[in-house]
């Protein structure tokens, strides 16, 4: 019998393994510091996803030797009360990093709250001062998800300098800072968004593609340049009926959540895998990196505040 030629598949970028590596670096840095940096994760209200994220952030901090704590405030918290709380944390010398989980209830302006966080403690890297430094290419507390994506790209060993990098999505949290970080490393960067003409043709130019739009399975195999590095930041929770669109994914059970919903990325992983050179899975790609980079930013903030 003649065996079928093997399909050459992308190398899978293991976000959990890279995150573990960063976490061990953070734990070592904490030991060197000789004190436990303090991180406070603030949550307002009871959004179930935010509850999980914030709890995990505080838990991971403790695991790595930081003083991590969750501050849970009621859904009815006023903007003035939250601003007052941020002010107290700014003045509290035992606090090195402050994070206010987004989204916030509608009576609170996220922009006002972000602007109120002391830039030196802004471990999310969302304050306009840190955003400015980042876009000037000066060392700053960079937003955790895009900083984590850079580490994943670096883990492939490809040369970023001179590469065509295509960022899909222009959010303040991911797309824009992602483009700034890639530019800092001398990539030729294109940012795509909802008004982009011929998205497929632009994506096809990418030696590096970062998908961060929140549209399930937007990036298909035909759009991707063979051999490209494809990073999927998407975390789209869709209902179980969506599995019809995943019929081609032989390993789709990984996507099923306990409540029957399905978690899919912005990339059609099962098909793009056969075209890309490297690819991140969802889950297990970018997700684990975000918390790891938050821990690293907290250590950086602690070191700088005491320098």
Point out the residues that are catalytic.
57, 101, 124
Q: How far is the CB of 18 from ligand GUN (least distance, A)?
A: 17
Binding mask 102-141 for ligand GUN (x = CB under 6 A): x---------------------x-----------------
Buried b (16+ CB within 10 A) or exposed e, 148-170: bbbbbbebbeeebeebbbbbbbb
Instruction: Say whether residue 144 binds ligand GUN (CB under 6 A).
Output: yes
Query: Closest CB to ligand GUN among 44 and 228?
Result: 44
Q: Which is nearer to ligand GUN, 61 or 228 (CB)?
A: 61
* Nearest approach, Cβ of residue 290 and ligand GUN (Å): 6
- Minimal CB distance residue for ligand GUN: 102
Quick check: 296 binds ligand GUN (CB under 6 A)? no
CA gap 122, 224 in Å, rounded: 36
Q: Which stretch binds ligand GUN (CB under 6 A): 96-104, 210-218, 234-242, 295-303?
A: 96-104
Under 8 Å CB-to-CB from 96, ≥6 apart: which residues? 37, 38, 39, 121, 123, 298, 301, 302, 305
What residues contact residue 154 under an 8 Å CB cut-off, 6+ apart? Answer: 160
Residue 251's CB: how many other CB atoms inside 10 A?
11
Dist. CA 279–CA 277, nearest whole Å: 7
Q: Which of 99, 160, 182, 209 binds ligand GUN (CB under 6 A)?
A: 99
Cβ neighbour number for residue 205 with a 10 Å cutoff: 14
Among the listed ranges 18-26, 98-106, 157-165, 199-207, the one in contact with ligand GUN (CB under 6 A) is 98-106
Closest residue by Cα to residue 292 from 29, 64, 32, 30? 64
145 binds ligand GUN (CB under 6 A): yes
Beta carbon nearer to ligand GUN, 233 or 279:
233
Q: CB 201 → ligand GUN: shortest distance, Å?
A: 30
Contacts of 130 (CB under 8 A, 6+ apart): 119, 122, 140, 141, 142
Residue 131 CB neighbour total at 10 angstroms: 21
Measured from the CB atom, is 10 or 152 closer to ligand GUN? Answer: 152
d(CA 146, CA 166): 13
Nearer to ligand GUN by C-beta: 99 or 152?
99
Q: For the CB of residue 99, give the shortest distance to ligand GUN in the complex, in Å.
A: 5
Task: Pick from 61, 96, 98, 101 the residue near ligand GUN by CB under 6 A.
Answer: 101
Coil, helix or strand at residue 190: strand
**Binding region for ligand GUN (CB under 6 A):** 99-102, 124, 144-145, 173, 290
């Amino acid at each position: 019998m003649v065996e079928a030629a093997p399909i050459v598949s992308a190398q899978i970028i293991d976000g959990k393994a890279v995150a573990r590596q960063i976490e061990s670096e953070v734990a070592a840095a904490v030991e060197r510091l000789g004190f436990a940096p303090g991180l406070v994760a603030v949550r307002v209200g009871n959004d179930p996803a935010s509850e999980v994220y914030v709890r995990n952030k505080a838990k991971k901090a403790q695991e790595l030797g930081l003083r991590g704590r969750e501050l849970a405030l009621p859904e009815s918290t006023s903007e003035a009360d939250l601003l007052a709380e941020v002010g107290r944390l700014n003045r509290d010398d035992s606090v090195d990093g402050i994070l206010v989980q987004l989204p916030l209830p509608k009576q609170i302006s996220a922009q006002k709250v972000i602007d109120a966080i002391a830039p030196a403690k802004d471990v999310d890297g969302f304050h306009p001062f840190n955003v400015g430094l980042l876009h000037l290419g000066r060392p700053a507390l960079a937003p955790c998800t895009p900083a984590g994506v850079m580490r994943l790209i670096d883990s492939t060993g490809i040369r970023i300098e001179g590469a065509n990098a295509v960022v899909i999505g222009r959010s303040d949290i991911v797309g824009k800072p992602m483009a700034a970080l890639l530019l800092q490393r001398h990539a030729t960067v294109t940012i795509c968004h909802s008004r982009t003409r011929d998205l497929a043709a632009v994506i096809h130019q990418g030696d590096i593609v970062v998908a961060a739009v929140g549209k399930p399975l937007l990036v298909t195999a035909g759009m991707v340049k063979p051999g490209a590095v494809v990073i999927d930041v998407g975390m789209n929770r869709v209902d179980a009926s969506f599995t019809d669109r995943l019929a081609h994914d032989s390993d789709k059970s990984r996507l099923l959540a306990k409540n029957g919903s399905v978690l899919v990325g912005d990339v059609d992983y099962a098909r793009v895998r056969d075209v890309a050179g490297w690819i991140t899975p969802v889950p297990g790609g970018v997700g684990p990196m975000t918390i790891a980079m938050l821990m690293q930013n907290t250590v950086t903030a602690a070191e700088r505040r005491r320098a």
